[in-house]
A and B are shown apart, each in its own frame.
Chain A
Amino acid sequence: MRKQELIKLLAVIAATVGLFFAFVSPLAHSIRQGLDLQGGTHVVLEAEDTPEATVNDDAMERVVHIMEKRVNELGLTEPIIQRQGARRVIVELPGIKDPDKAIEVIGKTAMLEFKDEAGNTVLNGTDLKDAREQTDQQGQNLVGLEFSDEGGKKFFDLTSKNVGKRIAILLDGEVLTAPNVKEPIAGGKAVITGSRTLEEAHNLAILLRSGALPVKVNIIETRTVGPTLGQDSKDKSEFAFAIGIGAVLLFMLLFYRLSGFIADISLMAYVLLLLAALKFLDATLTLPGVAGIILSIGMAVDANVLIFEHFKEEYKTGKTLRAAMNSGFKRAFTTIFDSNITTIIASIVLFMFGTGSIRGFAITLGLGVVLSMITAISLSQYMLKLLIGANIFRNPAVFGASQPEKSGEVMGRA
């Protein structure tokens, strides 16, 4: 019995188990959660060609920029705004309380026009310098507009020519207000009345400040998950995770005894590594992603099973434990490598073609395969070598292997 190796082995085991129980939960909770887990709204916008404006790269970049402005001004935390493909933009709003309002603000083109009675557009949104909501002395909610220098001149021009007539202020072709002009207005300021609440005025001001979208944009998909359902999904998948990993740990222990215990330690290291990698890559954990993690635990032990089966087989041919272990690992390696590369191919394709949550799932699947391969061929091997080196157990049954066939007789005669 060699003390040094035993101590090393115990240290590795204690460290892994300790780290596992200390960090698995905080680590899992620190990974950014997708909307399906924490609740929130997911909006997909698609730009459309119109006779006035065609969709191009430049226009899409401006759409993203304007969306960022709008969402930030709505005061939402940690929004994600992402361009996807040639003409789509994804907006994710975690933990949002009133999704309907936000969707309304996001989806507006926000083209502002000032028209004279004949219907000619004299000013538009680009002539604005600022827009702010306010309440006047009568308690009316308004949006106060401030024009740029040129806009101010145009507005003066418009009001001078239309004294006693009506002008109209339109947003996306809809008349917001159509006041009677009493006198020419200089100074570059105006107000839009007609907002029912201060919040409505606030949202309108945001739209006007962030400017009009350069192309027509349609909302083609919205998904909202309420906080109750998100929490529910989180609790349930945590439970499934605990049950799943518990069953696998127990199974390995029952069928492979001490080797199974080593595999269990590797499995714990694997789970920690996977979570750490997801955290490091700043991945977003979605429900299919969690499902992927739970599944990968079942698959992760496969490499260990392959190694142990080869080990058992080698041992049966009459090799010593150490020699059987070495050649078992060597033979298992090509098997593990070839079988896992094919799975990695599938997950890479999934990543390339998938969108959103499918992509997250592909990442966990691919990472899972790579990491399980690494832990099995490094950590399991290292621990098993120490275990055999420590030489405390000579009975192969402890390793889940049976006595060599017929070798009993051979040894008896010797």
Chain B
Amino acid sequence: MREFDIVGRRKIWYALSLLVIVPGIICMFVKGFNFGIDFTGGTIMEMRFEQPVNINQVRDVMKGYNLDNSTIQLSGDTASAVEARDVMIRTVDLEETERKAIMATLKERLGDYSVLREEKVGATMGSELLLNALWATLLSWVLIVIYVSIRFEFRFGLAAVLALVHDVLVVLAVFSFLQKQVDSSFVAALLTIVGYSINDTIVIFDRIRENLRLHFRRGGDVAALANRSIFQTLTRSIYTVCTVLFTTFALYWFGGDTTKDFSFALLVGFMSGCYSSIFIASPLWVTLRRLADAKRARRVA
């Protein structure tokens, strides 16, 4: 197989990623995220009625309590555009008595139902969760840089973590574009992606390290070496992302509504992770190494 020069075309890959990330960041500021009640606080009531109900009837009931801005979603087997048995209502953080009153009114006007899910989260919990997640992510990055710096060298660690930042930003961007719900399982998904992507990147770096030791002389072409290393590990990169995507797809299609957004985040993240390991991490390492070489050359001159 003739090797395609991935590293040489690195500016294209950087640009491609920025094409997703920059609009993504703008979108995050303009549109923000569709935060779940884990973050915003609020109440969710999900019930299965014995007879299909009309969304407008549900809305009328909510209107009766001055909760016009509640989100009402229909789902389940018999779902049409406006009628279904499964109804999910998301609204502000309700008092216990108010929630009970609403549920009683629903039963009275729309018939009997069984409760599928009820959630009530006070607003204080959300910011705490977000902060914890942020710390967890930053801490894991710092530890990874330290570990990789010890086992490899600092530039590998930096490039690996930049690739991770890339993946996290891509997933955040996609969730902001599509306004998919961000909740506590999304945080777990992000950290899994971090775990997977670093694994993927290190395998390639490990090969670069090996090739550096065995086949590299001072002043040689690092780009060519990185490129060869990418190709030597390419089969593995592709096979592994395939098996991981199989299982994630299985989870996405068959795993039910509760894990749908979770597995969607993973799908996007794993694809981005595979892409960044090949097209971002190693080229970044070359860029960093070149920068260092140039600096050293200037100092000598």
Pick the residue among A244, A343, A350 that contacts B250 (CB under 8 A): A244
Known A-B contacts A298-B244, A343-B196, A346-B144; the reply to A228 vs B262 at CB < 8 A is: no
Q: Which of B25-33, B66-74, B135-143 contacts A (4 or more CB under 8 A)?
A: B135-143
Docked Cα-Cα span, A228 to B125, in Å, equals: 27
Tell me whether A341 is interfacial, beta carbon within 8 Å: yes
Q: Which of A25-33, A65-73, A199-207, A218-226 contacts B (4 or more CB under 8 A)?
A: A218-226
Tell me whether A36 is interfacial, beta carbon within 8 Å: yes
Tell me whether B240 is interfacial, beta carbon within 8 Å: yes
Tell me whether A302 is interfacial, beta carbon within 8 Å: yes
Do the beta carbons of A338 and B151 come within 8 Å of each other? yes
Tell me whether A239 is interfacial, beta carbon within 8 Å: yes
Do the beta carbons of A99 and B239 come within 8 Å of each other? no
Tell me whether B79 is interfacial, beta carbon within 8 Å: no
Do the beta carbons of B255 and A229 come within 8 Å of each other? no
Contacts of B255 in A (CB 8 A): 236-237, 240, 291, 294
A-B contacts, CB under 8 A, total: 210
Q: Which residue of B lies closest to A248 (CB)?
A: B243
Do the beta carbons of A291 and B263 come within 8 Å of each other? yes
- Distance in Å: Cβ of B275 to nearest Cβ of chain A: 17
Contacts of B248 in A (CB 8 A): 295, 298
Tell me whether B245 is interfacial, beta carbon within 8 Å: yes
Tell me whether A11 is interfacial, beta carbon within 8 Å: no
Tell me whether A1 is interfacial, beta carbon within 8 Å: no
Known A-B contacts A295-B247, A302-B199, A343-B195; the reply to A353 vs B136 at CB < 8 A is: yes
Contacts of B187 in A (CB 8 A): 354, 358
- Distance in Å: Cβ of B68 to nearest Cβ of chain A: 24
- Distance in Å: Cβ of A46 to nearest Cβ of chain B: 8
Tell me whether B57 is interfacial, beta carbon within 8 Å: no
Contacts of A103 in B (CB 8 A): 96
Known A-B contacts A239-B254, A244-B250, A349-B136; the reply to A224 vs B259 at CB < 8 A is: no
Tell me whether A23 is interfacial, beta carbon within 8 Å: no
Tell me whether A301 is interfacial, beta carbon within 8 Å: yes
Q: Which residue of B lies closest to A341 (CB)?
A: B147
- Which residues between 157 and 172 of chain A lie within 8 Å of chain B, taking CB atoms? none
Do the beta carbons of A349 and B259 come within 8 Å of each other? no
Residue-by-residue, is B235-259 near A (CB-CB < 8 Å gives 1, otherwise 0)? Answer: 1100110111111101101111011
Do the beta carbons of B258 and A233 come within 8 Å of each other? yes
- Distance in Å: Cβ of A199 to nearest Cβ of chain B: 16
Q: Which of B10-18, B115-123, B170-178 contacts A (4 or more CB under 8 A)?
A: B115-123
Tell me whether A365 is interfacial, beta carbon within 8 Å: yes
Do the beta carbons of A299 and B196 come within 8 Å of each other? yes
Tell me whether B6 is interfacial, beta carbon within 8 Å: no
Do the beta carbons of B119 and A223 come within 8 Å of each other? yes
Known A-B contacts A342-B147, A354-B136; the reply to A222 vs B119 at CB < 8 A is: yes
Docked Cα-Cα span, A232 to B114, in Å, equals: 14
Chain B binding surface, main DSSP class: helix
Chain A binding surface, main DSSP class: helix
Known A-B contacts A338-B202, A340-B199; the reply to A353 vs B132 at CB < 8 A is: yes
Do the beta carbons of B198 and A343 come within 8 Å of each other? yes
Do the beta carbons of B243 and A302 come within 8 Å of each other? yes
- Distance in Å: Cβ of A8 to nearest Cβ of chain B: 28
Q: Which of A14-22, A131-139, A305-313, A320-328 contacts B (4 or more CB under 8 A)?
A: A305-313
Contacts of A350 in B (CB 8 A): 136, 140, 188, 191
Do the beta carbons of B259 and A291 come within 8 Å of each other? yes
Tell me whether A54 is interfacial, beta carbon within 8 Å: no
Q: Which residue of B lies closest to A344 (CB)?
A: B195
Q: Which residue of A lies closest to B131 (CB)?
A: A353
Tell me whether B212 is interfacial, beta carbon within 8 Å: no
Residue-by-residue, is B126-161 near A (CB-CB < 8 Å gives 1, otherwise 0)? Answer: 000100110110011001100110010000000010
Known A-B contacts A228-B48, A358-B184; the reply to A247 vs B246 at CB < 8 A is: yes
Docked Cα-Cα span, A305 to B235, in Å, equals: 9
Contacts of B253 in A (CB 8 A): 240
Docked Cα-Cα span, A257 to B143, in Å, equals: 39
Contacts of B236 in A (CB 8 A): 302, 305-306, 309
Tell me whether A110 is interfacial, beta carbon within 8 Å: no
Tell me whether A378 is interfacial, beta carbon within 8 Å: no
- Distance in Å: Cβ of B35 to nearest Cβ of chain A: 15
Q: Which residue of B lies closest to A336 (CB)?
A: B203
Do the beta carbons of A302 and B188 come within 8 Å of each other? no
Docked Cα-Cα span, A104 to B96, in Å, equals: 9
Do the beta carbons of A298 and B246 come within 8 Å of each other? yes
Docked Cα-Cα span, A232 to B194, in Å, equals: 30
Pick the residue among B140, B233, B250 that contacts A345 (CB under 8 A): B140
Tell me whether B167 is interfacial, beta carbon within 8 Å: no
Docked Cα-Cα span, A364 to B124, in Å, equals: 29
Known A-B contacts A229-B46, A240-B251, A349-B143; the reply to A295 vs B192 at CB < 8 A is: yes
Do the beta carbons of B188 and A358 come within 8 Å of each other? yes
Known A-B contacts A346-B198, A361-B188; the reply to A301 vs B120 at CB < 8 A is: no
Contacts of A104 in B (CB 8 A): 96
The 6 closest A-B pairs by CB, nearest first: A298-B244, A298-B247, A244-B250, A353-B136, A236-B256, A244-B247
Given contacts A298-B247, A353-B133, A365-B192, 14 further A-B contacts (CB under 8 A): A219-B96, A222-B119, A223-B119, A229-B117, A295-B244, A305-B240, A306-B236, A335-B207, A343-B199, A345-B147, A353-B135, A353-B136, A354-B187, A358-B184
A-B contact pairs, 14 of them (CB 8 A): A99-B118, A100-B96, A219-B96, A224-B119, A233-B256, A292-B192, A298-B243, A299-B240, A301-B243, A302-B236, A349-B139, A349-B191, A355-B129, A355-B132
- Chain B residues in the interface with A (C-beta under 8 A): 46, 48, 96, 100, 114-122, 124-125, 129, 132-133, 135-136, 139-140, 143-144, 147-148, 151, 160, 184-185, 187-188, 191-192, 194-196, 198-200, 202-203, 206-207, 210, 232-233, 235-236, 239-240, 242-248, 250-251, 253-256, 258-259, 262-263, 266
